[in-house]
Chains A and B, each alone.
Chain A
Amino acid sequence: MSVRRLAANQPDSFAFSAESLKQVKAWIARFPEGRQQSAVIPMLWIVQKQQGWVSEPAIRVVAETLGMPVIRVYEVATFYTMFMLEPVGSHALVQVCGTTPCMLRGANDLKAVCQRRFGDRDHLSADGKVTWQEVECLGACSNAPMAAINDYYYEDLTPEIFEQILDEFIAGKPRAPGSVIGRQGSAPEGGSAVLQAASLYDGTAAKALKSLPNAEPKTRGKAKEAAQ
């Protein structure tokens, strides 16, 4: 992570779209009167959804909307790395996980692909279609290596498949997200290795429960007497 600054080139103004405005109102309504500033992070998300990134005029609009000092919104926007302070690629924002499990499973190769195709990280590619970043753990370690592209995870990547996926994004026809080797959730490769027995599912193993797992413990006879 490096020092986070607002982009040098900023649009003149920002206004919430009708769709965003609906969400803005819904978020503000969630907080009690006088606590509207609590909505600052959702508000910046909405901005980022609409604009692709968080611009300086947008920061001012958010501050105005929530009735808080603009420096406070600025603090939040610069604190959270998920808020993009510069315009991002029109087709894809690629966030490659570089934390240990992914790194051990080949994240460095994915980064090399990005570097070769799009140039330096955290900047728009030459054609303006892609921005790529290295990010910290995204929580899909068992399916490492992985990358988040726009809003979804692509897991179990190899450099070749990764490059294919990137091409699809650039062509505007992204594939369905998830594991590229057809893994179910974070189950082992090739499918689940446990809970396979057919008897688990045909009802033959079913038995009546003596007591429900979380039921109140039965009072013993003696204690009952003592209570009386």
Chain B
Amino acid sequence: MPKAKVNGVEVEFEPGMTVLQVAELAGEEIPRFCYHERLSIAGNCRMCLVEVKPGPPKPQASCALPAADNQEIFTNTPMVKKAREGVMEFLLINHPLDCPICDQGGECDLQDQAVGYGRDGSRFGLNKRAVEEKAMGPLINTVMTRCIQCTRCVRFITEVAGVAEIGLISRGEDVEITTYLGSAVTSELSGNVIDLCPVGALTSKPYAFNARPWELKKTETVDVMDAMGAAIRIDSRGPAVLRVLPRVNEDVNEEWISDKTRFAVDGLSRQRLDSPFIRENGRLRPATWAEALSLAAARLSSAKPERIGTIAGDLQDAESLKATLDLFRALGSANTDCRQDGMALGTGPRESWLFNAGISGLEDIDVLLLVGTNPRLEAAVLNARLRRRWLSGDLQVGLVGTPSDLTYDFDHLGETASALTALAKARSGFAKVLKGAKAPALVIGTGALSGPHGAAVAHAAAQVAKAFGMSWNVLHTAASRVGGLDMGFLPAEGGLDARAMTAKGALDVLFLLGADEIDLSASDAFRIYLGSHGDAGAHAADLILPASAYTEKDGLYVNLEGRVQMGQRAVFPKGEAREDWAILRALSERLGKTLPYDSLDQLRARLFADHPSFGQIDWAPRGQADLSAIGAAGDVGDTPLSSAVKAFHLTNPVARASVTMAECAALAAGPAKLAAE
């Protein structure tokens, strides 16, 4: 490996690294604004100037300079110090001194680096320039006078998000960052430009003027808005969750999160269930816990075991699923299901419902077949990874299902599952591409797996995967689904599935564990809803037990690749609400079937003992599914395979309670409405 000296210290580096990266290897900090390791190199802020030997006798921009063997790099010479001071002075010429009223204040790259590398004063006596604010939609607030033209946002939106909507117009002193004529950014990842912006030019609109970074309590946890389990940090003050920021997890979300993850948090303080409610004469009235639990216990114990059942929702932690499952098994009920959408997976080996290639494994695949899925809506961050792979030129994508803009090109092979059966037999076209692939992957969405033909579609897809040696990957949309399937939260022998449980006259008591995505209009059972938000489930409930949202409880979540991740509590539950498992424990006591755990740790110990896969925190298996065991041969039907996610911003009760998400959803639905008129 080539070697270079950084301030006299010799380091080895990979060929192709830049001087900046080599200096970082040696532990030297290089100030920068425009350079970002996940974006292309622009080299326009000039903050990363260093001195190199051999080389011209002037400072060099280290971010754009390839390191050479036997190069000497200096980052602490008088020339470098002077160069940095000069660049900083120029950057600050037009930067307003409004740090006290700037949302970026306290977490601002420019502020920090001005203190670290700048001069103490300015020699600029003329007027500063002022730039008009730009409209960028309901998420991004702009104060464009603060912009230092690093173009990180332009590069992110163009390269990573794949929708070229932000640009740098005009030139020289007059350059401005803008969208085309003030249109809103349509990317599902647009919020990341707020994090990328090194100054306060792009800030979060919903969070504007809400708090200072040093006032906030920071809790590291995982996201539940989709099944990826992105690493997030929750910033809260007192009882309020103020914002969500991404954490770096190279194996899952790198450092991006979707707009839903970031901006749905205002839904955590709206539509909340803060006390138990009992329906009397068609109206819900607040009740005490004692009343509510007694009523629940009375109803559950008076019904026959085969006339009670439970459906689990999409945002549940593994502990509450486990406690519910244990309780209903103890009551002798076989009617348990965690699949609100009725997807046709869950039996057989674990690999059949996992994303077996792994999220980071997508870097290695060369041919991808998407079946009934729109990754852009179902897992936006994962889609960015697919796009990057596609941009590298080594990925070919085929799609069976409803086509839409995925931010990369694909061969559309057909709308219905019959295209799958045809593909398995085909010898030309995309089949030929698959035949020649080294690491092909099949990604099937839950939209294809649910519905009356789900099992047959799963079977047909598995046959294709088998014929071409593809890895089997299920793209879940529900954060709790893999956990639920892993612990067997499914109908036991002779039990009813979710659809059957909601049918007229099927049950006497239906226990909804945060289930909001299922049609309850036909059900005439006594419905107990345990959950955090007054959404579909609570509207239909006869008894409401207020529980915690994902920010208000410690919990385990299993992401789509089978990675068990631990969520942390950031704030306390609202009002009278309690943690889910504790409510279930209390209920079990009243039913005389006391669950054998008194604390969350005991519950977890029980979970790990019964299902060892839950004990492997932060580890994702990389298995291969037994493809012959997936689904059941049958009529695949002729309905188009469309994505399970119709409206990206409104997929769960938290997002539906969010005003920000409602604005985004209205904006996203706007053009479609016009077209329909």
A residues with a Cβ closer than 8 A to B are 1-4, 6, 56, 69-72, 74-75, 78-79
Contact = CB atoms under 8 A, between A and B. Distances in A.
Given A69-B165, A74-B169, A78-B171, 18 more contacts: A1-B174, A2-B174, A3-B170, A4-B174, A56-B181, A69-B164, A69-B167, A70-B180, A71-B164, A71-B166, A71-B167, A72-B164, A74-B167, A74-B180, A75-B167, A75-B169, A79-B170, A79-B171
A112 B342 CA distance: 80
B211 interface: no
A4 B174 CA distance: 8
B38 to A, nearest CB: 21
Interface in B174-188: 174, 176, 179-181
A78 B176 CA distance: 10
Given A2-B174, A4-B174, A75 B168 contact: yes
Nearest to B173: A1
B179 A71 contact: yes
Contacts of A4: 169-170, 174
Interface in B300-348: none
26 contacts: A1-B172, A2-B174, A3-B174, A3-B176, A4-B170, A4-B174, A6-B181, A56-B181, A69-B158, A69-B164, A69-B165, A69-B167, A71-B164, A71-B165, A71-B166, A71-B167, A71-B179, A72-B164, A72-B167, A74-B167, A74-B180, A75-B167, A75-B168, A78-B171, A79-B170, A79-B171
A-B interface, 4 closest residue pairs, ranked by CB to CB distance from nearest: A69-B164, A71-B167, A78-B169, A71-B180
Nearest to A81: B171
B169 A79 contact: yes
Contacts of A78: 169-171
A2 B176 CA distance: 12
A79 B158 CA distance: 19
Interface in B124-176: 158, 164-172, 174, 176
Interface residues of B, number: 15
A50 B650 CA distance: 47
Contacts of A71: 164-167, 179-180
A71 B228 CA distance: 32
Nearest to A79: B171
Contacts of A69: 158, 164-165, 167
Nearest to A75: B167
Nearest to B158: A69
Contacts of A74: 167, 169, 180
B399 to A, nearest CB: 21
Contacts of A79: 169-171
Among B165, B166, B170, B176, find the residue whose CB has the most chain A CB atoms closer than 10 A.
B170
B452 to A, nearest CB: 41
Nearest to B131: A3
Nearest to A71: B167
For the residues of A in contact with B, the DSSP-based class is: helix
A2 B171 CA distance: 10
Nearest to A4: B170
Nearest to A56: B181
Contacts of B176: 3
Contacts of A56: 181
B155 to A, nearest CB: 13
Nearest to B174: A3
Nearest to B129: A3
A185 to B, nearest CB: 33
B556 to A, nearest CB: 42
A75 B174 CA distance: 12
A71 B171 CA distance: 15
Nearest to B167: A71
A79 B176 CA distance: 11
Interface string B240-271: 00000000000000000000000000000000
Nearest to A60: B180
A56 B180 CA distance: 10
Contacts of A70: 180
Contacts of A1: 172, 174
Contacts of B171: 78-79
Nearest to A3: B174
Among B166, B168, B169, B172, find the residue whose CB has the most chain A CB atoms closer than 10 A.
B169
Contacts of A72: 164, 167
A4 B172 CA distance: 11
Among A3, A4, A6, A71, find the residue whose CB has the most chain B CB atoms closer than 10 A.
A71
A187 B76 CA distance: 56
Contacts of B181: 6, 56
A33 to B, nearest CB: 14
A189 to B, nearest CB: 36
Nearest to B157: A71
Among B164, B171, B180, B181, find the residue whose CB has the most chain A CB atoms closer than 10 A.
B180
Contacts of A3: 170, 174, 176
B98 to A, nearest CB: 21
Contacts of A75: 167-169
A74 B175 CA distance: 12
B44 to A, nearest CB: 14
Nearest to A6: B181
A79 B174 CA distance: 10
Contacts of B168: 75
Interface string B471-510: 0000000000000000000000000000000000000000
Contacts of B165: 69, 71
B530 to A, nearest CB: 47
A98 B650 CA distance: 59
A54 to B, nearest CB: 13
A75 to B, nearest CB: 5
Interface in B380-399: none
A14 to B, nearest CB: 15
A78 B180 CA distance: 12
Nearest to B168: A75
B599 to A, nearest CB: 55
A74 B182 CA distance: 12
Interface string B169-212: 11110101001110000000000000000000000000000000
A193 to B, nearest CB: 41
A131 B158 CA distance: 37
Contacts of B167: 69, 71-72, 74-75
A6 B172 CA distance: 17
A69 B161 CA distance: 14
A147 B481 CA distance: 73
A74 B177 CA distance: 12
Contacts of A6: 181
A78 B167 CA distance: 11
A56 B176 CA distance: 18
Among B158, B179, B181, find the residue whose CB has the most chain A CB atoms closer than 10 A.
B181
A145 to B, nearest CB: 25
Nearest to A70: B180
B586 to A, nearest CB: 57
Contacts of B170: 3-4, 78-79
A3 B281 CA distance: 66
